[in-house]
Structure 1
Amino acid sequence: MMRMVYALYTRRLRRRLDGAVMPRHVAMVMDGNRRWARQRGFDDPRIGHRYGAEHLDEVLSWCAEMGIQHVTVFVASVDNMRKRDAAEVGNLMRMIEQVVAERLSRPSSVWRLHVAGRLDVLPDSTRHALKLAAEATRDSTSGFHVTIAIGYDGREEIVDAVRELLESESRAGHTVPDIAQRLTADRLAAHLYTNGRPDPDLVIRTSGEHRTSGFLLWQAAYSELHFCDVYWPGFRKLDFLRALRSYAARHRRFGA
């Protein structure tokens, strides 16, 4: 009975969103995998990473259905890579290689893959798998783009962008005063990991945490934020549609 009620409500909410203003770009913090596994009674909470990785495939299908062309997902931060138990990090990286990279590179996938983050902190096998998947999807003409933020930290991204801009300007023969005079937000943004992709309109974080944890610090300056109490593997289509409903009901002011 509950499944039937859920299905009916989901279909009704989906119909109500017809004609509503939809985000062009949705960014998501995939949080709560281990807590979901503990809640479900699994002996090893690391199994939540597999369920979380597999669930991304389903969430991307919802995005495509709603015509959302750009999706960015926060998989792991630099701190996750450096400070968490090595076995847990290794398990998460295997899930990225075996589930995310493999599924996105299938011919049936409509998504073109991009990667954002400090790839030097990733294991060689993970870096290689993501590189192959990105190359396999490079010629996609579907118009759908997914960015995997892995080994990512928003502050380090900005530092890297400033460093790259300075190095580029220096190679062109510009002095420090020249660089300072020429510096603009657009010039700096051109050196971010996400250059060439639009800023997110909506950022969703699962697990009930009400913070962005350094995710897309620059890009999300004017994004609408939506915090969802469910853990990522339990994030339902109904929860996703509610986030879109909330977005459609807001009047975006872009800092005005």
Structure 2
Amino acid sequence: MKETGSDMMIPKHVAVILDGNGRWAKKRFMPRNYGHVQGSKTVEKILEDAYDLGIEYFTIYAFSTENWKRPDEEVEALMKLLRSYLKSCIKTCKKNNMKVRVLGDKSKLGPDIRESIEELEIVSASNTGLNFQVALNYGSRDEILRAMKNLIHDYDNKQFKLDDIDEELFEKYLDTKGIPDPDLLIRTSGEKRLSNYLLWQLAYTEFYFTDVLWPDFTKEELLKAIEYYNSRDRRFGAI
């Protein structure tokens, strides 16, 4: 954590479930995709705010393994927006010295999307600014199952002994390998559930829920979440 001039402790890692894009658009009598477009613009602004505040890692839930169940028209629109966002993000990460990693099962995404992800991760790998993680086709249960399969494969190939398996070893098989667990989780739009997001990683995270819809989320709202975080006594199971 980083301490500001006002003695406010800044969480090292903030994870966000950016909910409410569709409802935001509906309130304005616009199609749901309009809300997703505005939501992506909010992401860009909040990333700058987060870095300015001293946050080192910022992870967003962009598309879940369950989101494929949405109407085909909306999924297609989201994939189109994703394609555009990944290309613009390459420019953004160069400009802002931002390192980007994509979490989730990339094999289910289109070939061109996978190519853009690979390019984005390669060109930003040596950047030293904000670490930005995007969860795409991500579900925590899916992540844990994939990790278990890879761990069992390596065990069968005698890369380690049964007694070597502990939390530290298992975490090396997760999508978040090398990334510290979130200190603070923010979910917008009034929903109060995890929705299969970072279940392993959120074991000791502080949760902050707000009724604000994601496109309306601002630096001021981020500061409210950090103020709440500062009010918590994080004991990690101790007294």
Q: Fold conserved (TM > 0.5)?
A: yes
Is the alpha carbon distance of 1:254 and 1:242 closer, same or farther for their aligned partners in structure 2, counting shifts above 3 Å? same
Q: 1:139 to 1:32 in 2, by over 3 A?
A: same
2:19 to 21, 25, 31: 31
- Aligned counterparts, 1:97-246, within 5 A: 97-106=83-92, 107-142=94-129, 144-172=130-158, 178-179=161-162, 181-246=163-228
Q: Secondary structure at the match of 1:19?
A: coil
2:98·2:128 contact (CA, 8 Å) conserved in 1? no
Go from structure 1 to structure 2 and tell me whether the alpha carbon gap of 1:250 and 1:17 turns closer, same or farther (over 3 Å shift): farther
Q: Tell me how far apart the structure 2 counterparts of residues 160 and 99 of structure 1 sit (CA, whole Å).
A: 27
Match of 1:41 among 4, 29, 33: 29
Q: Which aligned pairs between 1:62-73 and structure 2 lie closer than 5 A?
A: 62-73=49-60
Q: Give, in angstroms, the shift of residue 101 of structure 1.
A: 4.3
* Amino acid of the structure 2 residue aligned with 1:254: F
| Residues in 2 aligned to 1:131 and 1:189: alpha-carbon distance in whole angstroms | 22
CA distance in 2, matches of 1:239, 1:17: 19
For 1:128, the aligned partner's letter is E
Alignment-mate amino acid for residue 19 of structure 2 = D
Identity percentage over the alignment?
Answer: 33
Pick closer, same or farther for the CA change 1:201–1:111 going to 2, 3 Å.
same
Q: Name the structure 2 match of 1:21.
A: 9
1:104 Cα deviation after fit: 4.4
Whichever residue aligns with residue 41 of structure 1, its letter is: F
Query: Which of the pair has more CA radius of gyration?
Result: 1
Aligned partners of 2:104, 2:118: CA distance in 1, in Å? 13
Output the CA distance in 1 between the equivalents of 2:42 and 2:86: 10
Structure 2: gaps (5+ residues)? none
TM-score by length of 1: 0.87
**Inter-partner Cα distance in structure 1 for 2:179 and 2:91:** 20
> In structure 2, do the counterparts of structure 1 residues 105 and 136 end up closer, same or farther at CA, with 3 Å as the change threshold?
farther
Runs of 4+ deviating beyond 6 Å: none
Cα distance in structure 1, aligned partners of 2:122 and 2:150: 24
Q: Secondary structure at the match of 1:113?
A: strand
- Once the 2 structures are TM-superposed, how far is the Cα of residue 18 of structure 1 from its aligned partner? 2.5
Give, in angstroms, the shift of residue 114 of structure 1.
0.2
Instruction: Report the 3-state secondary structure (helix = DSSP H, G, I; strand = E; otherwise coil) of the residue aligned with 1:108.
Output: helix
Q: 1:169 to 1:46 in 2, by over 3 A?
A: same
Q: Is the CA contact 1:17–1:245 (under 8 Å) kept in the aligned structure 2?
A: no
Q: CA deviation at 1:203?
A: 0.4
When the two structures are superposed, what TM-score results if normalisation uses the length of structure 2? 0.92
Quote the Cα distance in structure 2 between the aligned partners of 1:55 and 1:61: 10
Q: How does 1:65-84 map to 2 (within 5 A)?
A: 65-81=52-68, 83-84=69-70
3-state SS in 2 of match to 1:95: helix
Distance 1:194 1:204 in 2: 18
